Amino acid sequence: MTVVGLGPMGSKMAETFLGAGFDVAVWNRTASKTEPLVARGARHAASAADGDLLVISQIGYQAMYDSLGEARLDGKVLVNLSSGTPEELRAAARWVAGRGGTLITAGIMVPPPGIGQPGAYSFYSGPKDVLDRHAATLESLGGITYVGADEGLAMMYYQSLLLIFWSSLTSQMHAMAMLRTAGVSPLEFLPFVRETFTQLGGDGVMGFATILAEEFAAGTYPGELNSLDMQLAGIGHVVHALREAGVESTVPDALRRLFERAAAEGRGHEGLGTVIESIRKP
């Protein structure tokens, strides 16, 4: 195989493949980045298209186009773990197919130090029979979670979880910043953050990850005991508290405006889940 792109992610992938005993070639647009891996047993690839299995980790899909140039890809399998939009990935699959190859798209769900470690996994999409032929190799990086033949799906799953990751942790940052103005240590607050994250992903009365998914699947958002109107009042108080504390409030205020919009559309009596209907119709 050839690993194309030797930033922190690609370099760690190449190291992991080498550690698993695979014959690994490496290629990077800045050739000097190959030297540490060659010193560990990798080979210099003559080009980015050198090899039957190309594992690509670059800044984006344009980098793949630039690296491969006009090369033919007849019979080659490209596994691209770079980021892009779902439609970019679908277009890339057509581009690769037009040159005789097959593209498997992927989104790896750990930072570089987690590659190959317990709990690591990646979303994959594209032709499953092709993925299956290379599963033993790719499993060195982590678990394989196949999400479908549509090449855009791996990135859609990946970006959906990143959205939850960024949004959740940014809300924690807002909370810690506000509490710090009252002299509360972030570490003093941490046990409550952990408990909240745990409960939201659990099955109890606070298991809202499950509750929202079930409500959205059913298309009903019961609000008799906890309506959106009640949540709207609460988020208004949060925004005011942030401002009183002198803390930046752009994102929480945008959340308040989203709640307001759903209520203005006549759904304030429904539950919090009704906000997704506004999200679906920008």
Q: Tell me the whole-structure pTM to 2 decimals.
A: 0.92
Domain coordinates of the chain in residue numbers? 2-154, 158-279
Token pair belonging to 140: 């060195």
- Tens of pLDDT, residue by residue over 111-170, are 999 999 999 999 999 999 999 999 999 999 999 999 999 999 999 999 999 999 999 999
Pick the CATH number of 2-154 from 3.30.420.10, 3.30.870.10, 3.40.50.720, 3.40.50.1950: 3.40.50.720
Q: What is the CA radius of gyration of the chain?
A: 23
Distance CA 196, CA 188 (A): 14
């910043």: which residue's tokens?
Answer: 177
**Percent of the chain, pLDDT > 70?**
100
Pick the CATH number of 158-279 from 1.20.140.10, 1.10.1040.10, 3.30.390.10, 3.40.50.720: 1.10.1040.10
At what angle are helices 153-180 and 86-98 packed, to 10 degrees? Answer: 150
- Tens of pLDDT, residue by residue over 173-215, are 999 999 999 999 999 999 999 999 999 999 999 999 999 999 9
